Structure 1
């Protein structure tokens, strides 16, 4: 799975009726290409999806490219958006880099980086995403690729000319353009470094840094951070069902959605909820932390409660006013929560 949460096409609101062709699949991915959108930089996290939709509309309706040009887009807040239809883990050919679309995979930094530098979290997400995608193809992010130009009006290299380029290069390296802007271009080596480190196990510090600035991070810090009840992070933030996001910690997890906020889960209540099916269960997402009562520890969920008896540690689920004592989790523990992003399909819907 990708090392960063992915906002799928359905989640950012892609109108699939605007697509004019089935995806074209190349035989492989040989390099990654960095772009910028040349749009503004002062936008909030909840405004990014609308920017992606506007890029999608421009590429399909104005430029006539059949779909959004890029394979993925990353905003200044580090959010990653699924781009061109067909599957992030498939060699989908885009329409991003004239003459060099074949066998390449493009990431667009949302913003204008002629003068303004990309944010640290944006660079980190781009590097991790490209590190993952190139690793799937067996490509060294610090290596090179010999690519042959298909020619056309958007490249300065005539058809048939072969150029040896870095495995991660930019639009301006092959096209008559300033893209991705001088300020972003200066960070290409940093992006390559982040991509190359992807296969190294992340440290606790790496994971903590990846969470910084999120609602989950703020709640974790309020609970004492790495030395608090949850302990250090054990995973990056990952997508759950619908709009949910979650992070696994040494002694529990925090789940977030816009409707419920960031809520921690620990101990027997967390294990019981996990065994029931996490946020896909009838209970839905947690709407509170654990509430300490004399006989019970209680946690509220969207559609009920879980209550742990302090005397015998038995957990009772209450839905529609009906209590039911749950069996203990299986010997191997509750099922593992899986990261998800929208599945790829080979044909138009």
Structure 2
């Protein structure tokens, strides 16, 4: 069944387990389908979409995510609304950063199609029934993104998820705006690079504010550019910051494509040298004259300074796929 429009979005949780792998989520969605159709008799999944703890999005009720498909998710308020379900139980355990980010971006996209401000309000009229505490015909003014519990006699989506509704609204509202420093920080949350950045003081630390979303390098490498350097990560090397003359020299050599590979340590401060280890050698800065030396196979070589225009930019920074925050 199609409505004429979408006027608001509603957040739910599935009240199922939280400890599942990414490749198990499809089976969970299928079990929800079975419960909703065979046990509840609703004909299809109640929700328009579902998002797992890994940030994966699944279509729920058939008919098109970009269409005003009427679900059976929120008694009394199914008409002209669109529902997303967080897969898991969030009475006490909080949703993951990836889950919150995907829910926010999904709702930002869906409400934008309908011309709805994610931080606005909607006036909805209850159709009544046993699944809502709002009598038939009563009108309620609700946020454009609200929770099942706001109109139903339920704890859904759980206290822990309910506390994050404002963050979901913020992510949704920022989706179609130029990325800000807050957007970039939010896009990094939950990853190894974010953890290392926070350990170094975050935006107030040696690296400063984030200047790019996380992007892929060669092989398994991932990196983020900051105001005063970068952090590179791979499963083999871990996450390590790289700054100053060592960063410029490594960039001039070709970043992780260079013979050095990826950094395997932060900068080590010795009496005469500042040293950073890489997979296949080291870069050393002489404290007296700021000359950078490359050491591979035990043989040092003095490197020329970077060109006047600076070191080359990472090629991946120009990929159109990453012009919008992931």
Tell me the CA shift for residue 202 of structure 1. 3.5
Alignment match, 1:27: 4
8 Å Cα contact 2:90/2:160 also seen in 1 = yes
TM-score by length of 1: 0.55
Tell me the CA shift for residue 199 of structure 1. 1.1
Q: Distance in 1 between matches of 2:186 and 2:155?
A: 34
1:102–1:225 CA distance, 2 compared to 1 (3 A): same
Tell me the CA shift for residue 158 of structure 1. 1.1
* Larger radius of gyration between Structure 1 and Structure 2: 2
8 Å Cα contact 2:129/2:136 also seen in 1 = yes
Alignment match, 2:168: 191
1:182–1:44 CA distance, 2 compared to 1 (3 A): same
Q: Distance in 1 between matches of 2:94 and 2:176?
A: 27
1:180–1:225 CA distance, 2 compared to 1 (3 A): same
1:74–1:224 CA distance, 2 compared to 1 (3 A): closer
1:45-124 superposed matches below 5 A: 45-124=22-101
1:1-349 superposed matches below 5 A: 24-202=1-179, 205=184, 209=188, 212=191, 222-223=220-221, 225=223
1:180–1:45 CA distance, 2 compared to 1 (3 A): same
SS in 1 for 2:62: coil
8 Å Cα contact 1:70/1:95 also seen in 2 = yes
SS in 2 for 1:57: helix
Aligned residues: 207
Structure 2's unaligned 5+ residue stretches are 193-213, 231-256, 258-319, 322-326
1:210–1:128 CA distance, 2 compared to 1 (3 A): farther
1:80–1:224 CA distance, 2 compared to 1 (3 A): closer
**Cα RMSD (Å):** 2.7
SS in 2 for 1:153: coil
Tell me the CA shift for residue 33 of structure 1. 0.1
Deviations along 1:314-333, whole A, 9 cap, x unmatched? xxxxxxxxxxxxxxxxxxxx
SS in 1 for 2:110: helix
1:212–1:66 CA distance, 2 compared to 1 (3 A): same
Tell me the CA shift for residue 28 of structure 1. 0.4
Q: Distance in 1 between matches of 2:4 and 2:108?
A: 19
8 Å Cα contact 1:59/1:68 also seen in 2 = yes
TM-score by length of 2: 0.59
8 Å Cα contact 1:55/1:68 also seen in 2 = yes
8 Å Cα contact 2:97/2:190 also seen in 1 = no
1:160–1:220 CA distance, 2 compared to 1 (3 A): farther
SS in 2 for 1:35: strand
Superposition misfits of 4+ residues, deviation over 2 angstroms: 201-213, 216-227
Q: Distance in 2 between matches of 1:181 and 1:63?
A: 21
Structure 1's unaligned 5+ residue stretches are 1-23, 233-265, 267-335, 338-349
1:205–1:158 CA distance, 2 compared to 1 (3 A): closer
Tell me the CA shift for residue 225 of structure 1. 2.9
Tell me the CA shift for residue 222 of structure 1. 4.3
Tell me the CA shift for residue 39 of structure 1. 0.2
1:195–1:224 CA distance, 2 compared to 1 (3 A): closer
8 Å Cα contact 1:211/1:217 also seen in 2 = no
Q: Distance in 2 between matches of 1:174 and 1:185?
A: 13
